[in-house]
Every structure is written in structure tokens, then in C-alpha cells.
Amino acid sequence: MQTAKLLRLSCAILLLLLNTACVMKSYSLLEPIKPHIPYITTATVDSLTPKFVWSKSDEPGVTYDFAIFNVTYPHRSFSSPPPPYPQTGQPIYYRTALLTNEHIVEVALNPDTYYAWTVRTRVDNRVSPWSTVTIIAGGPTSSTSRTGYYFPFKTP
């Protein structure tokens, strides 16, 4: 919560100083590295079995859980690309006890399909919340924020 407030304040200050649009993002827990999450669009992966990489946890004995979810885009006009903050559906791929901060999907995903992915940590019996992104976009007259979304991507 505090991070979202700080991002909104930072964006407001930039708007006042520059009188221009501003888009900021922050991550809870672990940051996605590959695919890179663009500011206001959805990342497109290069394969139906893509490689995902996220920031590494420094906790000793950590393992990772990795999940991919179906997504929906309510109120979407199909003549335009979807916004970067979908509603998450059911998990379609899930792996636990990963020892490194990367994973290659072992089962081919559907082509030309939108998904969202996330990761969390485990240390002994402690399980973290799933990692999410907060996106704050604003212009000279208005702003919007989206919090708690998994990382969207599209297959080729």
C-alpha cells in the first residue's frame, strides 16, 4: 500500500514539473526480468515454451513456486490491444520447489494467447504471497492506478 502511495506522489510531482504524462510501475516481492514487462503494453514471448526469469531472493534455503494463469480482459474493445492489467483466471501451469530464479515452460502454451505469470518464495514452512505489479499512469488532468496484478504476456 505504501509503495502505491509513494508512486502516486512521485508521478504527481513529475506531472507538476513537466506537465506531461507519466507511467510508473513497482513490484511486490520479486521483479520479472524476462520477459521484460513494458509499462503500458503486454510482453510478447518468443516461444510457446518460453523462459521466465525473475529477481533472486537472498534468503538462505529459498525455493520458488511458478504459475501461469489464463486471463480475461473485461470491457475490452477487440479492435484495440488489451490493457496490461487482466483479470486472472484459473492456473494452467504450476511448478514448485524450483531451485533457481528461472524456468522454461515444459508444456507448450497455446499460440496467440494472453496469459499472466507470477512467482513466490518458500523457505521451510513459510510461503510468500505471489509477486505482483502496480502500474500508475497519469497525465496533466487525470491519473489511474492498477495494483496487485500478475505479469501479463502473450504467446506468438
Which domain CATH number covers 143? 2.60.40.10
pLDDT tens digits for 82-141?
555 556 778 999 999 999 999 999 999 999 998 999 999 999 999 999 998 877 766 555
Q: What is the pLDDT of residue 17?
A: 47
User: Using the 8-state DSSP alphabet, how is residue 71 labeled?
Assistant: E
pTM listed for this prediction: 0.77
For residue 115, what are the domain limits? 2-154
Q: How many structural domains comprise the chain?
A: 1
* Alpha carbons 156 and 154: distance in angstroms, whole number: 7
* Alpha carbons 81 and 94: distance in angstroms, whole number: 27
Return the percent helix, strand and coil in the chain, to nearest 5. Answer: 10, 45, 45
Alpha carbon dihedral 28, 44, 56, 10, in 10-degree steps, equals: -40
pLDDT tens digits for 37-82?
766 568 899 999 999 999 999 999 999 999 999 887 655 544 445 5
